[in-house]
Amino acid sequence: MALNRSDLGLLALRGAVGGVLIAHGTQKLFGWFGGGGLDGTAKAMEAMGFHPPRQSALAAGLGEAGGGAMLVAGLATPAAGAVVAGTMAGAVAVHAPAGFFAMGGGYEYPAFLGATGLALGLAGPGRYSLDHLTGHAFNQPWAGLLAFAASAASAYGVVSRRRHALRLAEERAAVEAETQEGAGLS
């Protein structure tokens, strides 16, 4: 069997992107590679407005590590791409206020990872994958549509819930500030 350049390219891309995602996910889940682990990530998620924080940390870690591992293996690639794209949508929402470029804390990097997951989910894993070995049993067009629809709906719900929580926190802070100002006048 002759090696196919396109399939090798997909394998390399899946390995690189999936490997990065696995590393980030295991930081969140286990504290590997200098990460905060589940407890530290839950505290960070709470500070970023994600509620409930522990479940949000677990979902982010599993989305990154699990989606990344599935991409590396080329297993259920449409679902893996959908998971990665949805997980990165939450990260984009966190970084969006800082603008586009990562250098200034912007959303460039998570957007790139999410778009790459999306592209791999749409393109498929190529010949060098578990999907190919299983006769593409988990790489069906209907599964991809379902996975991307579910991921988009979930990401929308998570981001909307976060925006609502942040709005409530801002309103509480404004009320507290007014109360403290009023207390100083009496």
Query: For residue range 82-131, what is the model confidence (pLDDT) as tens digits?
Result: 999 999 999 999 999 999 999 999 999 999 999 999 999 999 999 999 99
pLDDT value at position 185? Answer: 53
Residues sharing a CB contact under 8 Å with residue 138, sequence separation 6 or more, in sequence order: 75, 76, 77, 79, 131
pLDDT value at position 162? Answer: 92
Query: For residue range 138-168, what is the model confidence (pLDDT) as tens digits?
Result: 998 888 889 999 999 999 999 999 999 999 9
Helices (H), the chain: 5-30, 37-47, 53-73, 77-95, 108-123, 130-133, 141-185
Query: For residue range 22-64, what is the model confidence (pLDDT) as tens digits?
Result: 999 999 999 999 999 999 999 999 999 998 999 999 999 999 9
pLDDT value at position 184? Answer: 62
**pLDDT higher for 169 or 54?**
54
